[in-house]
Amino acid sequence: MFKKFGSTLAVALLTLVCSSPFAAQLVNVNTADAIALAENLHGIGSAKAQAIVEYRKLHGDFQSVDDLIKVKGIGSKLIEKNSEFISFGKGGTATGVAAASSTAQPPLKDTVSTPVLPASN
């Protein structure tokens, strides 16, 4: 009985963790809107996210963490918590969430092959 309960509890906990409303992605702080920042960074609510966007409008793109720390309410501990999710690159999608890999290869060109027929005797 306890074995079944334990496995059911494990599945329930795993489901809860995986379906968490917080699914962090790499975020380009130079292109992300306030919603994308708030949804993808730990400890960044709508007010801090809006402060990041406003600072960026006034001072231009962030070049490094040193620039991001200049935003009121953003400190080194907050940056440390989110370091793996913050990007300063120039790319990004319309929502501002950058793709995890910027080294995507172009698709291979279609090639037409001629079938090889067996030799006739």
CA–CA dist 49, 42 (Å, integer): 11
**pTM of the predicted model as reported, rounded to 2 decimal places:** 0.57
Contacts of 97 (CB under 8 A, 6+ apart): 25, 26, 27, 28, 32, 36, 40
Mean pLDDT calculated for residue range 11-32: 61
pLDDT > 90 in the chain, percent: 50
Number of domains present in the structure of the chain? 1
Q: pLDDT category, 71, cuts 50, 70, 90?
A: very high
DSSP for residue 96: S
Say what the pLDDT of residue 56 is: 97
Q: What is the pLDDT of residues 78-112, one digit of tens each?
A: 999 999 999 998 644 333 333 333 333 344 444 45
- Is 53 among the domain residues? yes
Say what the pLDDT of residue 25 is: 82
Has residue 53 got a pLDDT over 50? Answer: yes
What SS3 class is residue 116? coil
Contacts of residues 1-8 at CB distance under 8 Å and 24 or more positions apart, as own/partner, are none
For residues 113 and 38, which has the higher predicted lDDT (pLDDT)? 38
Q: What is the CATH number of the domain that holds 41?
A: 1.10.150.280
- Is 2 among the domain residues? no
- Is 49 among the domain residues? yes
